[in-house]
Amino acid sequence: MAEIWQVSSLIRIKTMNIKSLAENLLRLVGGESNVETVVHCATRLRFSLRDDAKADTAAIEQLDGVITTVTGSGQFQVVIGNRVAEVYRQLGEISSVLDDHTQSREKPAKRSGSRIGQLIDIVSAIFTPLLGAMAAAGVLKGLLNIATSQGWLDKTESTYIILQAASDSLFYFLPIMLAITSARRFQGNVFVAVSIAGALIYPSMIDLFTRQVEVTFFGIPVVMMKYTSTVVPIILSVYVMCHLERLLNKFIHETVRNIITPFLLLVVMVPLTLVTLGPVGIYTSEAAAGVFVAIFSYNPIIASALFAALWQVFVIFGMHWAFTPVIINDITVLGRSTLKASTVPAVFAQAGAVLGVMFKTRNKKMKALAGSTFITALFGITEPAVYGVTLKLKKPFVCAVIAAAVGGGVVGYSNSAAISTGIPSLLTLPIFYGEGFGGLILGIVISFVMAAVLTYIVGFEDPIDESATAPTPSSSLEKNAKPQPVTAMPVDIAEDIMVPVTGRVVALEQVNDKVFSSGVVGDGIAIQPTEGKVYSPVDGVVTATFDSGHALHILSDNGAEILIHIGLDTVQLNGQHYAMHVKENQTVKRGDLLIDFDLAAIEKAGFDTITPVIIANSDRYKTFHKTRQPAANTGDVLLTLS
């Protein structure tokens, strides 16, 4: 029933709780069997689906609690907002999609999409679980820097030492953290992966590196490296380990596999990592860091301005995940990331743009939405602001991009940098404390104020305030519009709704679809058709049609909102066997032919052809009389409203 959710003015949806939202999401993405992995960031659930075509995008976007969906970069992303973690946890409670898939390592599912999309999917799955703790540790690290620079704490004090350990432990043991997430992503033995990571940062190994002595393994020279706080070496090692594990399991009998396979993995992978994979990873990390140092050194103003301008565009398509390992690598190799600092103006520019919208718009709903998303944007959650306001209105998004570029240039000029990673926001400003911090604050102020002023001056196409006029489906087909409850307004005008299609009368409660049978979209009656023609039941205007041709909405001259829906789930036919004879905003008279459909072909395709006739604003009427006749013939009265 994806298409029914598009007619937002027709739907009366009860407030969904988290469990209901999770259940509906799981069902609409194709069920548990279609979910390969799912992770979440600050605002999104990021699904890796076995078959993207099974996801019912339209229905998902109209779920109460969903802002929008984004498909790309190898992921099906559902933007939820601040409560995404609750929905994620609920998915784990109602299904096994969050389980560690170590039992299914023999034959991992093949992923679809481009190589770049697959790479971004991998990066997202590996780094997303760490970002919350990493941001918290970074804020604590920044606050400690402020405290010591102002003389509030001394680095020799035990208080500082304890807090410094709390802030630095995640970064020090980063290979172990990445071993866990990498093994889960590559579907390998998590504990063996952690053991390999632990070997790299084992005290005796660190001692060998510190003493710079000659190290060999059965005569093979080993170039000792410092692996604490590294990123690439352990990811490479776990990737190879997982492939080797699957290869070994093909030849080792399952009765001894739980012991022999981990034993061989440890014996092979620890030396292999120290001899080859580790040094390759270190050199790769240093080279990547050097590239970005060179870019920002050549012209820091242009580089920072460009990244700031493009950052929210990257976020929209999920491409920003490609920069996450780069930022973390810069921090672990260089101790700071100028790239991370350049993203801050982009966030505050979006906040400024929605503030400009809030002051400019006369639409009450848009004003309220802009006000709420302004607050979330200040705390780094920009998706509601982008999808709900700036991108929807177009010009405010462009204004924010321009302002972000200007603010980014200021940040680049001041050589601002981050000492940790985290969502840029008011709360995470301490991670940028140090050289160029004043320039960062100036860049934030410029991008914020400029975006707000530009948005107010340039303006935008203000949405029609539906609270001032009667809602019609044509004004409610915005992609991201959310259904709103309609207050009952009793009327005294009696109106007859005629039979639109010949057939057998069926009580609405007997329709095998809860969307209809529960009355959530309005009261009405259903007809089991015996003829493939639909006629207009009233004089009125066609206010919504669908490309699939299986449904339409009519607003009668007396104000009844009528939905005629031919069959259940027939949107999946993509217009086959349907011929629409009218278009939106067309005036029709009672008895005009609206739709032709091939009844036999639809039934042969396996679809139920029962046709609900719904009065979406049925709560306006004091009396709602349904025909008691078993047969429905065109020209007969089906419903009487008053």
Question: What residues are labeled active site?
Answer: 41
Helix (H, G, I), strand (E, B) or coil at 558: coil
Q: Alpha helix locations (H) across 48-114?
A: 57-61, 84-94
What DSSP line would sit under 166-233, residue for residue? HHHHHHHTHHHHHHHHHHHHHT--HHHHHHHHHHHT-HHHHHHHHHT--EEETTEEE-----TT-SHH
DSSP string, 305-358: HHHHHHHHHHHHTTGGGGGHHHHHHHHHHHS-BHHHHHTHHHHHHHHHHHHHHH
Q: Which of 233, 39, 28 is nearest to 120 (CA)?
A: 39
Q: What does DSSP assign to residue 433?
A: -
Task: Give the C-alpha separation, 538 to 254, whole Å.
Answer: 70
Which amino acid, one-letter code, is at 401? V
Write out the two tokens for 640.
């009487």
551 by DSSP, 3-state: which?
Answer: strand
d(CA 65, CA 15): 9
Q: Which residues pair with 496 in a beta bridge?
A: 640
The DSSP secondary-structure symbol of 512 reads S
Burial of 309 (0-12, 13-18, 19+ CB in 10 A): buried
Say how many C-beta atoms besides its own lie within 10 A of residue 117's C-beta: 18
617: three-class secondary structure by DSSP: coil
Judge contact between 391 and 399, C-beta under 8 A: no
Of 374, 381, 517, nearest to 451 (Cα)?
374
Termini Cα distance of the chain: 29
Q: What is the Cα 108 distance to its own chain's centre?
A: 24
Distance CA 126, CA 324 (A): 10
Neighbouring residues of 198: CB distance < 8 A, sequence distance ≥ 6: 176
Q: In terms of C-beta density within 10 A (0-12 exposed, 13-18 middle, 19 or more buried), how is residue 14 classed?
A: exposed
* Cα–Cα distance measured from residue 621 to residue 494, given in angstroms and rounded to the nearest whole number: 9
CB atoms within 10 A of CB 604: 10
Question: Could you give the count of Cα atoms lying within 13 Å of 96 in the half-sphere of its Cβ?
Answer: 6
Question: Cα–Cα distance between 180 and 511 in angstroms, integer?
Answer: 48
